[in-house]
């Protein structure tokens, strides 16, 4: 275990009254409740004064009224992972876990994330974004010409693989666009990378950020929402089994991607390793990763010698604000 990740140096009592934000209004509410319950029980086991707080049932102003001093965000998807809750907590002056307002907002937009990564020279699959109203036949033909088949079609503002479709032919692309239209105002079409899938958690901020061991994901079929959280068909390997040099190269790319978006605290980067030439392609970043029994950040941390409860404590201790309000600065 790195000296930078030492949960024994954290006094749980110094963290004050903690709200574990969970539930919420997104399509990922069910997973969020599972993550939140796991984190809550872990923090309580470490002696933290932690309490459940469902943002769909309580107004965020209640956080101030009830005297909470920091928040552990286990909200997933829209209204929790997209900068909205982060902005509210900034105004309330309550430190929170994970990236700040801008980084959370950008990371939730898969297209914007890819634009930044491309500008920074980080390899990500070729893509075309089709706004609503540009899904006519000529647009479908143009996307197929640019990306080839099969391709991936997905909503750019959802997480947990919700709405991700592998389109095998032109009819599949048309159907996928219709399905995505029920979830988002745009569709992100990506070149399909054939190979093995991995994920790389990152913990920390700036120069102190560290990439944890890669987790290899082995799905017998589609690695979709159901398989991610509710089934046992998917197998995982950590250590990943990759050669050390290749694993370190992917970890370094994940760190670059994390820093390029201005992330802090923790996140998880999903990666495809192309079978034909072993080139890694970064798919997306999750700024409030799952913390359920099937989740991958705890699995990677465990391979580093960090138990689940200690991981929760480390993340909580990193809670911060983008900006300290003048009144708070005066108190400090």
Which tens digit of pLDDT belongs to each residue from 234-266? 899 999 999 999 999 999 999 999 999 999 999
The C-alpha atoms of residue 312 and residue 42 are separated, in whole angstroms, by 7
pLDDT tier at 2 (50, 70, 90 boundaries)? very low
Q: How many CB atoms lie within 10 A of CB 325?
A: 13
The C-alpha atoms of residue 82 and residue 93 are separated, in whole angstroms, by 18
Identify the pLDDT of residue 311: 97
Identify the pLDDT of residue 171: 95
pLDDT tier at 224 (50, 70, 90 boundaries)? very low
Domains observed in the chain: 7-98 (3.40.50.20), 106-121+194-314 (3.30.470.20), 127-191 (3.30.1490.20)
pTM of whole model > 0.85? yes
Which positions are catalytic? 28, 160, 229, 268, 270, 284, 286, 290
Identify the pLDDT of residue 229: 46
The C-alpha atoms of residue 44 and residue 69 are separated, in whole angstroms, by 16
Which tens digit of pLDDT belongs to each residue from 130-150? 987 777 888 899 999 999 999
Dihedral over Cα of 282, 286, 291, 292: its sign: negative
The C-alpha atoms of residue 210 and residue 12 are separated, in whole angstroms, by 23
Dihedral over Cα of 279, 284, 290, 293: its sign: negative
The C-alpha atoms of residue 264 and residue 302 are separated, in whole angstroms, by 21
Check whether 23 has a pLDDT greater than 80: yes
């Amino acid at each position: 275990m790195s000296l930078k990740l030492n949960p024994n140096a954290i006094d749980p009592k110094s963290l004050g009254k903690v709200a574990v934000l969970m539930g919420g209004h997104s399509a990922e509410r069910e997973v969020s409740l599972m993550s939140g319950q796991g984190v809550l029980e872990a923090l309580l086991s470490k002696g933290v004064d932690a309490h459940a707080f469902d943002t769909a049932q309580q107004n965020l102003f209640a956080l101030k009224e009830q005297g909470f001093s920091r928040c552990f965000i286990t909200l997933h998807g829209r209204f929790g992972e997209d900068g909205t809750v982060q902005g509210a907590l900034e105004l309330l002056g309550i430190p929170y876990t994970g990236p700040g307002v801008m980084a959370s907002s950008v990371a939730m937009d898969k297209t914007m994330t890819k634009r930044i990564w491309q500008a920074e020279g980080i390899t990500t699959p070729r893509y075309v974004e089709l706004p609503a109203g540009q899904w006519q036949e000529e647009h479908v033909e143009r996307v197929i010409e640019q990306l080839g088949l099969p391709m991936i079609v997905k909503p750019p503002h959802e997480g947990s693989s919700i709405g991700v479709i592998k389109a095998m032919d032109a009819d599949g692309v048309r159907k996928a666009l219709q399905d995505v239209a029920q979830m988002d105002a745009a569709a992100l079409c990506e070149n399909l990378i054939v190979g093995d899938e991995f994920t790389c958690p990152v913990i920390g901020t700036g120069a102190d950020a560290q990439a944890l061991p890669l987790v290899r994901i082995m799905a017998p079929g589609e690695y979709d929402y159901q398989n991610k959280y509710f089934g046992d068909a998917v197998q995982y390997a950590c250590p990943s089994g990759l050669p050390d040099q290749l694993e370190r190269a992917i970890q370094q790319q994940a760190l670059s991607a994390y820093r390029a978006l201005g992330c802090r605290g923790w996140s998880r980067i999903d990666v495809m390793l192309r079978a034909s030439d072993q080139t890694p392609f970064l798919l997306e970043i999750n700024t409030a990763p799952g913390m359920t029994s099937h989740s991958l950040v705890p699995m990677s941390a465990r391979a580093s010698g960090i138990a689940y409860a200690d991981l929760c404590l480390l993340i909580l201790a990193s809670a911060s604000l983008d900006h300290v309000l003048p009144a708070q600065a005066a108190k400090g």
